[in-house]
Structure 1
Amino acid sequence: MRLTVIGCSGSFPSATSPASCYMISATDLNGKTWRILVDMGNGALGVLQRHVKLEDIDAILISHLHPDHCIDLSGVHVAVKWDPRGWNKPPIPLYAPEGIHEYLLNTHGLTMETSMDTEFTFHEWQAEQPVNIGPFTVTPYDVIHPVVAPYALRIECDSDQGHTIIAYSGDTDSCPGLVKAAHQADLFLCEAAYQEGRDDHLRGIHLTGKRAAEAAKEAGARNLLLTHLPVWNNPETIRAEAETVYDGGIGIAEASATYVVHPRPQHIPAHTTTLKVIGKRL
């Protein structure tokens, strides 16, 4: 699998990155390349078009209904519905928490009578119920965040390169669902919006670098890629927190970087890193 970071800024776009949006791609056993998006935070839609044509997106997955993770779906609606050249593909499959259709309608002042069914095929997550999208199997897990039905996502892939697993935290504090989602993951893409010592009074909302690393260690994840850092976080401070408890590969997500995620060979220790940055488009 390949992970391209479209946006990774925490809570709102920074001067250099949109909010949360990630593209995962893989080639199936028949030679077809599939591309799925994970979250569509504010600012993501513009940068996304530097990397892929919108009609080449096979599905969109949303972790939870906060604007920094889903609001640019509103722009996707416009791109699909109002392009005068036409949209020559079926509606985009959209997997999200309950209430996603009403949420998007409200962003345009529309009602269910209007509907967005011509732009999206709506699917609502059911906790720990996997869905299949091409070579991907995606399983949502309940996590802790102050919004209705937040999820971490476990994305497994059987491709021409073997079986690989990417786990994505969404937004959460420490909880069992996070560890389940990241179990034996080849790459754990995990938020770290808070900082030890500064934000200790805030619980049930976000992780620190240390708490993200504790989850990665408990899950046996092979690589930890820290993301969702707001502009006031020093990335090296957050990385240093993670290094105190986790000895696998640790990185800080970078906007427009692409990471190759390889299967876990049988003969290497669980925490041996094979995370590789293969390029960054500016």
Structure 2
Amino acid sequence: MRLIVLGCSGSGPGPDSPASGYLVEAGGARLVLDLGNGTLGALQRHLDPWDLDAVAFSHLHPDHCADFSALAVHRRYHPRPPHDPAVRPLAVHAPAEAPDRFAAAYAPDAAERAETDLTDVFTFHPLTDGGSATVAGVRLTARRVDHPCEAYALRVEADGRSLVYSGDTGPCASLVELARGADVLLCEATWPHLVPGTDREQPPGVHLSGRQAGEHAAAAGVGRLLLTHVPAWFSGEDLLAEAKAAFDGPVELVAPDRAYDV
């Protein structure tokens, strides 16, 4: 299994990276976890989008799904598609509101929102807490996590290897449970543990600090921790130091266009 970072900037694209998006090559499958602002362009440096087997969205905030509309245009209007997308529509695993939300984003105006139908090129599969699906021989399992909208952490398993992606979440037991014994935890580390200039911890139910990412990795007993989703206004090195203080296994801050063996 291999993880390729398409983008890793938290809360939106930054000067050095698109927003969140990750290509996973596992067994014979190629799937994308999230497709935030700018990631479809990055994807094309590594893979023809027609070769994707599925896309999975942890949640529907724009920095994790904004490039879905661009993918819809690619699959509908490419002048030389290798196959008819209506014959082989792309599987999309996402929160239940995804078909309506993506139709609204794609529709040319409000009047056409209700008539916009994307099922000619996509098949939608709602994520559920604890639910699993098989994608080209790869097992995809979701757990609900603590974020202001419907949000999931995702576990990808193939050929005896496992990768868990936190998506966006505050501290929660479900992330630890899903990540138990995983080879790699790709985990958000969005902010420092203390609000800058104060002795107060960050609010719960939104994101993880670097320290909390390390604590979740330690509690789950993962083999390796990869940190992501660092906004442009915080120091990734500071968050990396927090995580290393809480987790004694290998820890690394991911970078766009880098590949990581799982």
TM range (shorter): over 0.9
- Matched residue pairs, number? 251
- Among residues 87, 99, 104, which one is paired with 2:97 in the alignment? 99
**After the TM superposition, which of the residue ranges 79-88 and 114-123 deviates more from structure 2?**
79-88
**Kept in 2: contact 1:4–1:258 (CA 8 A):** yes
Instruction: Map 1:144-183; keep pairs closer than 5 Å.
Output: 144-147=146-149, 149-158=150-159, 163-183=160-180
Q: Equivalent residue for 2:51?
A: 56
Query: In the alignment, residue 107 of structure 1 is paired with which amino acid?
Result: A
Aligned to 2:222: 221
- Which residue number corresponds to residue 24 of structure 1? 24
Structure 2 equivalent of residue 138 of structure 1: 140
CA contact (8 A) 1:81 1:87 kept: no
Match of residue 231 from structure 1: 232
Aligned to 1:187: 184
Q: Provide the C-alpha distance between the structure 1 equivalents of 2:202 and 2:176, rounded to a whole number of angstroms.
A: 23
**CA deviation profile, 1:85-121 (whole Å, cap 9, x unmatched):** 2461411100000110111111123434330001211
| Mapping for residues 271-282 of structure 1, pairs under 5 Å | none
Residues 173, 206 of structure 1: 8 Å contact kept: yes
> Paired residue for 1:278?
none
Q: Secondary structure at the match of 1:50?
A: coil
Distance 1:179 1:21 in 2: 22
What secondary structure does 1:15 align onto? Answer: coil
CA distance in 1, matches of 2:26, 2:143: 23
1:271 matched residue in structure 2: none
Q: Residue 261 of structure 2 corresponds to which residue in structure 1?
A: 260
Q: Does 1:40 align with 2:35?
A: yes
Aligned twin of 1:266: none
Equivalent residue for 2:65, pick from 50, 57, 70: 70
Contact 1:7 1:21 (C-alpha < 8 Å) held by counterparts: yes
Structure 2 counterpart of 1:10, one-letter code? G
Hey, what does 1:205 align to over in structure 2? 206
| Matched residue SS, 1:244 | helix
Rounded to whole Å, the distance in 2 between the matches of 1:98 and 1:59 is 16
Is residue 110 of structure 2 the alignment partner of residue 115 of structure 1? no
Please, which moves more after superposition, 80-89 or 209-218? 80-89
More helix by share: 2
C-alpha contact (below 8 Å) 2:164/2:184 kept by paired residues:
yes
Code of the aligned partner of 1:251: E
Q: Measure the CA separation in 2 of the matches of 1:150 and 1:52.
A: 27
Residue identity in the other structure for 1:236? E
The SS at the match of 1:247 is coil
Q: Percent of aligned pairs with the same residue?
A: 40
Say whether the 8 Å CA contact 1:80–1:87 is kept in structure 2.
no
For the 8 Å contact 1:93–1:123, the answer to whether it is kept is yes
What is the CA–CA distance in structure 1 between the aligned matches of 2:114 and 2:2, rounded to whole Å? 37
Q: Which residue of 2 aligns with 1:126?
A: 128
TM-score normalised by length of structure 2: 0.93
Determine if the alignment matches structure 1 residue 245 to structure 2 residue 246: yes
What's the secondary structure of 1:23's corresponding residue?
strand
In the superposition, relative to structure 1, how do residues 201 and 223 fare at CA in structure 2: closer, same or farther (>3 Å)? Answer: closer
Does the aligned pair in 2 maintain the 1:191–1:229 contact within 8 Å? yes
SS of 2:206's partner is coil
Which amino acid in the other structure matches residue 16 of structure 1? Answer: D
| Whole-Å separation in 1 of the counterparts to 2:171 and 2:82 | 42
